[in-house]
Amino acid sequence: MVKPVTSVVIVGGGTAGWITAGTLAARVSQQGHSPTITLIESPNVPIVGVGEGTWPTMRSTLRKMGIRETDFIRRCHASFKQGAKFARWATGKDDDFYYHPLVQPHQFHQLNLAPYWQAQPQHDSFSQAVCPQEALCEQGLAPKLITTPEYEAVANYAYHLDAGAFSEFLKEHCTQHLGVRHLQADVSSVESADNGDIKAVLTEQAGPVEGDLFIDCTGFKSLLLGGHFQVPFRSCKDVLFIDRAIAAHVPYPDEQSPIASHTISTAQDAGWIWDIGLSSRRGAGHVYSSAHTSEEHAHEQLKQYLASSVKDPEALTFRTIDIEPGHRERFWVNNCLAIGLSAGFLEPLEASALVLVEISAAMLAEQFPDNRETMDVVARRFNRTFQYRWDRIIDFLKLHYSLSQRTDSDFWLDNRHPDTIPESLKELTELWRYHPPWHHDFEHAVEVFPAASYQYVLYGMGFETRPTRAHHIDENREGALEAFRANQRAIEQLTQALPSTRTLINKIHEFGLQKV
């Protein structure tokens, strides 16, 4: 007999558990499926909350769950993220910075502007020349107006959010509006079925909880996939050296302080400091390689960074987080799928953690197995897809380090050593010395990081592409020059029309955004 999948058990809460529960509950109900969804959350495990930055995909994720953007912004102390500013990554000098914005280059699907930009003897930064978002971020402007409907944008945007408040907000929505059953209990052991599947998880407070599909959202512990199924962990510490973080909540000087609408990433001698603006506070932290510096020195660098904006950095509460960069060798085994930290974690750079949760939950929802017989097919597809995605994310993160020209510490020198750079990334960078990144450079139609992202990082870091047949760029030269002029007109128009981020956030809290 074909055994239908009628019950899903998510073990673990936090952002991974509740995003998965909400995405699955909203999608499967639309498809006509009606499995019960139970989320088991320990009352004794605090939320890790690694990373408070998202991707623009979060707008679609929340919208599909039926969440109002106004409610989300108010309840989760959220603000807007229009990209990332990387300071002192290329040369380490005080005036060294570039942007990875969330708006694609002008006419990106029709014309590759990179060679035309590099051919100019005097030019703006790449992001300033091809899109308006660097100018918006530098002037502290929001990506939309109060009259722009919920989730719609004038300039593409993601969010900065309070991870703890976000989890509580999602929990309330999922249980009250999407029919997710919530159990507060500690899982003590796993009961196996005859075929090797998980039959039930045994809890201390609620007894056994049976299910047809189990989703492991237990964080770094990886209780089901790593613990029960013993799926090996594949470390990538030989490529990405970051393995420690020191984090702090940083107050604004006053309630009307400006809010940066981009993540600020400032390179240090053995890592980098993140700085993100929420509506109520900033989140800051120093991620570093313990093989290249001491915790004391890293802590001191973070306090020095904060001293310019905080009266007494010593009075802040600092939290230390250990990071083991890497991922499980497989993500879906039998009837168990890992999502979130239980599947793996690399580092906070480029906010890849939450987007992996989103796209994992979305693929599960879109290809939800009707029965146990089709589950193995879906699992194989999932494993292939996400092995590729993790590999590409590792390449993209390493790109930031391997392009640096800094020579002031072993950390930066080691990051450029050929033995620490994946062969797949070496191959691409060699190609890009003669051909600027473009859509056909990648194997999949949908990439986690598209060619535009590689262009922003490459040319922001001072990489040079020198085509061997430079005369080819003459074909569309006038079209490229007009694209540069059109972008400058867009900068002028948007910088005059858009409010400051603080102004818009205040208006959203007072009046709300228009419903779609």
Please give the DSSP secondary-structure letter assigned to residue 324.
Answer: -
> pTM here?
0.96
Question: What are the pLDDT digits (tens) for 141-157?
Answer: 999 999 999 999 999 99
Structure tokens at 257: 């302080």
pLDDT at 28: 79
Check whether residue 230 and residue 178 sit in a common domain: yes
pLDDT digits (tens, 9 = 90+) for 371-422: 999 999 999 999 999 999 999 999 999 999 999 999 999 999 999 999 999 9
The arithmetic mean of pLDDT across residues 458-472, rounded, is 81
- Does some domain include residue 14? yes
Classify the C-alpha dihedral 2-357-131-503 as positive or negative.
positive
pLDDT in tens, 442-461: 877 678 999 999 999 999 99
For the chain, the domain total comes to: 2
- Residues 164 and 225 reside in one and the same domain: yes
Write out 217-259 in H/E/C secondary structure. CCHHHCHHHHHHCCCCEEECCCCCCCCEEEEEEECCCCCCCCC
Phi then psi for 157, rounded to 5 degrees? -150, 160
Contact in structure between 443 and 261 (CB atoms under 8 Å):
no
Average pLDDT, the chain: 94
For residue 262, the model assigns a pLDDT of: 98
In a domain, 126, yes or no: yes
The answer to whether 134 and 128 have CB atoms below 8 angstroms apart is yes
One domain for residues 341 and 377:
yes
Residue 113's alpha-carbon distances to 131, 395, 430, 439, in angstroms, are 11, 23, 19, 13
Give the CATH number for residue 377: 3.50.50.60
Tell me the three state secondary structure of residue 142: coil
Q: Is residue 272 part of a domain?
A: no
Least Cα distance to 84 among 102, 96, 104 occurs for 102
Better-scored residue on pLDDT, 376 or 51: 376
Phi, psi of 428, rounded to the nearest 5 degrees: -70, -45
* Residues 139 and 173 occupy one common structural domain: no
Per residue in 223-235, pLDDT (tens digit) is 999 999 999 999 9
Q: Average pLDDT in the 473-488 region? A: 89
| Residue 29 and residue 177 in contact, taking contact as beta carbons nearer than 8 Å | no
Does some domain include residue 282?
no
Q: What per-residue confidence (pLDDT) applies to 44?
A: 82
Query: Residues 197-214: pLDDT tens digits?
Result: 999 999 999 999 999 999
Say which residues have a Cβ less than 8 Å from residue 446's Cβ, sequence separation at least 6. none
Residues 53 and 171 in one domain: yes
Range of the domain at 346: 7-77+160-234+325-390
Section 418-428 average pLDDT? 97
Confidence band (pLDDT; 50, 70, 90) for 470? low
285 in a structural domain: no
Lowest-confidence range among 114-118, 237-241, 260-264, 266-270?
Answer: 114-118
> Does residue 398 fall inside a structural domain?
no
* Amino acid identity for residue 153 in this structure: A
- Alpha-carbon span 6 to 476, nearest angstrom: 57
Average pLDDT over residues 365-371: 93
Predicted confidence band at 247 (pLDDT cuts at 50, 70, 90)? very high
Same domain? 448 vs 493? yes
Least confident of 83-87, 423-427, 470-474, 493-497: 470-474
CA angle 206, 209, 211 (to 5 degrees): 165
Domain match, 62 and 165 both: yes
Please tell me the predicted confidence (pLDDT) of residue 344: 97
Identify the pLDDT of residue 212.
97
| Residue labelled with tokens 């102390």 | 77
Specify if 448 maps to a domain.
yes
Is 302 a residue whose pLDDT tops 70? yes
How large a percentage of the chain has pLDDT more than 90?
89
Same domain, 352 and 475: no
| Two structure tokens written together for 280 | 């109520």
Residue of 179 and 2 predicted with greater confidence: 179
- Residue 168 shares a structural domain with residue 71: yes
Spatial separation of the C-alpha atoms in residues 459 and 453, rounded to whole Å: 10
Asked whether residue 510 carries a pLDDT value surpassing 90, the answer given is: yes
For residue 71, pLDDT beyond 60: yes
Q: Are residues 199 and 332 in the same domain?
A: yes
Q: How confident is the model at residue 511 (pLDDT cuts 50, 70, 90)?
A: very high
The pLDDT value recorded for residue 50 is 45
Are 426 and 495 members of one domain?
yes
In angstroms, the CA 330 to CA 326 distance is 12
pLDDT at res. 472: 62
Rounded mean pLDDT of 420-428? 97
Q: Are residues 351 and 471 in the same domain?
A: no
pLDDT band for position 31 (50/70/90)?
low
Q: What are the C-alpha distances in Å from 262 to residues 106, 155, 158, 207, 382?
A: 20, 12, 9, 46, 32
DSSP 34: -
The whole-number pLDDT of residue 119 equals: 87
Question: Which has the closest alpha carbon to 345: 208, 220, 483, 479?
Answer: 220
Residue 455 inside a domain? The answer is yes
